[in-house]
Structure 1
Amino acid sequence: MIAFARARWLALLLPAALMAGALGSQYIGGLFPCEMCHWQRWPHYAAIVLALAAFAGGRASRPLVVLAALCILASGAIGAFHAGVEYHWWQGLTRCSTAPGSGGGDILADIMATPLIQCDRAQWTLFGVSLAGWNALFSLAGGTAILALCLKRPR
C-alpha cells in the first residue's frame, strides 16, 4: 500500500511542479508558449485533476492514478516530438513550425498568418536541452515510475 500512496502523490506533484515551472517561465520569465507547448500542458492539467480525484478514495483510486500516469506519459511524448521539431530532427505539424511562404500561395498572407512564437525554435535551454526536452525527460520517467509503483505488489 505504501507504493500506491507514493504513486498517488507522484501523480499529483509531478504535473503540478511541471505546470508551475511552465507557468512561472511564462508569467515571470517572459517565455511565451508556442502551440506545441500548449499541447504539452493539457495532459498535465488532466493528470492533476485525476490525481486529486484519486485522493477522494474509494475503489476508483488506482485506475485514476493509472490514468493520470498515462496523461503524464502523453505529455512526455508530445514534449519529445516538440523537442525533435526544435532540434530540426523532423518537421512539425503546425504553422508555427513551417517557414513563411512554404504554403505556396500568397507570401504576404503566409507571413501575416505565421505565429510570433515559433515551435521550431527553443526559447531557452539548459545543458542544450529545451523546455520541451526537459518536459519529455521528467514526464516519461515520472509516468513510468508511477505505473511501476501502481503495479508493485504489497508485501
Structure 2
Amino acid sequence: MDLKRLALIATLGSTAVLLGAYGFQHLGGMAPCKLCLWQRWPHAAAILIGCLILLTNKLELAWLGAIAALSTAAIGTYHVGVEQGWWEGPTSCTSSGVSNLSAQELMDQILAAPLVRCDDISWQLAGISMAGWNAILSVVLAVIWIQVARRA
C-alpha cells in the first residue's frame, strides 16, 4: 500500500478516536477525567504530524506519529490499571481512604474532590473501558506509523 495512504489512515484513526472522545463528552454527557484528557493530547499531536507528512511528503516524520500513538497507548494502559485497582492513579483524580481522618478533614477531602474520578469506569464495550479501547486502537495506529517510517 502507498505510504502516504497509510499515513492518511493513521491520521484519520487518531482523528476518529479524538472525535469519539469528544462525542462521548459533548453528546453523551460523559465528562472526562484527568487521565482521559491526557490521552487526547498525543492523538492531537499525531493528527498534526500526519497533516505535516501529507503536506510535505516527509515520511520519516512518521516516527513522531508512532511515538505519539505509543504515548497515548501507554497513558491508556496506565488508566486501565487505575480503573482496575492494579495501582493508584494521580491523587488529584482517584479516591483515597478515609481512615484516620477527622470529620473536618473528611469534609475538606470531599469538597476538594474532582467531579470525575479516574478510577471509575463510565462506559465499556465487551468488558473493555474507553481507556482500554484507546490503548488497543493506539497500538494499532502505532504499528501503521512504524510501517510508514520503516519504509520511508
TM-score w.r.t. the length of structure 1 is 0.87
Match of 1:96 among 76, 86, 93: 93
- 1:62 maps to 59
Q: Distance in 2 between matches of 1:22 and 1:77?
A: 17
Aligned partners of 2:60 and 2:149 also within 8 Å: no
Aligned partners of 2:15 and 2:47 also within 8 Å: yes
Q: Deviations over 1:108-153 (max 9, x none)?
A: 1111111111100110010110000000000012212320232137
Q: Deviations over 1:1-22 (max 9, x none)?
A: x442233112311110000110
Specify whether residues 56 and 101 from structure 1 end up closer, same or farther in structure 2 by C-alpha distance, changes over 3 A only: same
For residues 9-88 of structure 1, the aligned pairs below 5 Å read 9-58=8-57, 61-88=58-85
Deviation at 1:64, TM superposition (A): 2.2
- 1:5 maps to 4
SS in 2 for 1:95: coil
Structure 2: gaps spanning 5 or more residues: none
SS in 1 for 2:56: coil
Aligned partners of 1:11 and 1:65 also within 8 Å: no
Q: Distance in 1 between matches of 2:55 and 2:151?
A: 21
Aligned partners of 2:121 and 2:129 also within 8 Å: yes
Deviation at 1:49, TM superposition (A): 0.9
Aligned partners of 1:103 and 1:110 also within 8 Å: no
| Further displaced range: 36-45 or 5-14 | 5-14
Specify whether residues 104 and 27 from structure 1 end up closer, same or farther in structure 2 by C-alpha distance, changes over 3 A only: same
For residues 110-149 of structure 1, the aligned pairs below 5 Å read 110-149=109-148
Q: Distance in 1 between matches of 2:99 and 2:127?
A: 28
Specify whether residues 17 and 4 from structure 1 end up closer, same or farther in structure 2 by C-alpha distance, changes over 3 A only: same
Q: Aligned pairs, how many?
A: 150
SS in 2 for 1:122: coil
Question: Deviation above 3 Å: which 4+ runs of structure 1?
Answer: 100-105
Specify whether residues 103 and 17 from structure 1 end up closer, same or farther in structure 2 by C-alpha distance, changes over 3 A only: farther
Report the residue type matching 1:129 in the other structure.
I
Q: Deviations over 1:85-121 (max 9, x none)?
A: 1111111123211326479682211111111111001
Query: % of aligned pairs identical?
Result: 37
Q: Distance in 1 between matches of 2:144 and 2:101?
A: 46
